[in-house]
Amino acid sequence: MELNDATTILSALAHEGRLSVFRLLARRAPEGVRPSEIATALGLKPNTLSVYLGALERAGLLNSERQGKSVFYSVHLARMGALVDFLAADCCRGRPDLCAPLTARALATTGESAMPDRKFNVLFICSGNSARSIMAEALLASIGSAKFNAYSAGTKPFSELNPFAVEMLKRNDHDVSGLRAKTIAEFQRAGAPVMDFVFTVCDQAANEECPPWPGQPITGHWGLPDPVKVTGTDAEKALAFATTYAQMRRRVLAFAALPFDQLDRLALQAQVDAIGQIDGN
């Protein structure tokens, strides 16, 4: 990367609003996000967001792709990586022990070998921890009890389990006696289980900025439409929960079937990302 390119990128990011947009898209990488979703998550007016997106795209930081009637924006990962390399190339004469990003150091510590043969801690996160993440927790606890410790949490406090979700789990012979709504704070305090995998199952949770998880877990976004928002008769609501349950079950089954002892972190991350596209919208 040339000096003028780096200057252009840094100038585009030197604004609180533009940087917030970029960070949200970076959290959702490699998938794209609709402008309407970005505006809602950051509380931006559409015309303001359009200005921000235009500036970031002109700097080469974003890609845009039309899918049907919608335009999706995503981070240009190669250009951002080139900027990081440019900034660190001459730092401390290229000593990686001093200059490598924290994420790269963590990856070097964990290594690129296959995952160890042990039980993995898996956390599913949603906004309310009332339906989708609870279903995912119950499904993994049932399907992969020998290989996984399943947990779920929400980003909003004071949530309660949705009765339609509980009834759906009961009908499919899941033990719901130990299920309860929790917040992510419960898993960020001292003494909490260290996670090997962290999955967001709703777009709102994926868009929120959270502190890094200890242990550098593999992360993924398995977003599904919120059945809680479906209106109509009880039968129509029950159908929405049944659809969500079936979609989540297919993802959990695919995840539990992965050959963890044969995949390094990069290959496993790719598999996790692909699973997030099963039944995707």
Catalytic residue among 91, 92, 99, 210: 210
Q: Burial-class residue 52 by CB neighbours within 10 Å (0-12, 13-18, 19+).
A: buried
Instruction: Give the single-character DSSP code of 33.
Output: B
Rg (alpha carbons) of the chain, rounded to whole number: 20
* Catalytic residue flag (residue 126): yes
* Catalytic residue flag (residue 92): no
Q: Are 208 and 133 in contact (CB under 8 A)?
A: no
DSSP-H helix ranges across the chain: 3-13, 16-28, 35-42, 46-58, 77-88, 96-99, 102-110, 132-143, 163-171, 203-207, 234-256, 265-275
* Catalytic residue flag (residue 202): yes
CA distance 69 to 24: 22
Q: Are 199 and 13 in contact (CB under 8 A)?
A: no
Q: Do the bridges between strand 70-75 and strand 218-221 make them parallel or antiparallel, or are there none, so unpaired?
A: unpaired
Q: Which amino acids are annotated catalytic?
A: 126, 202, 210
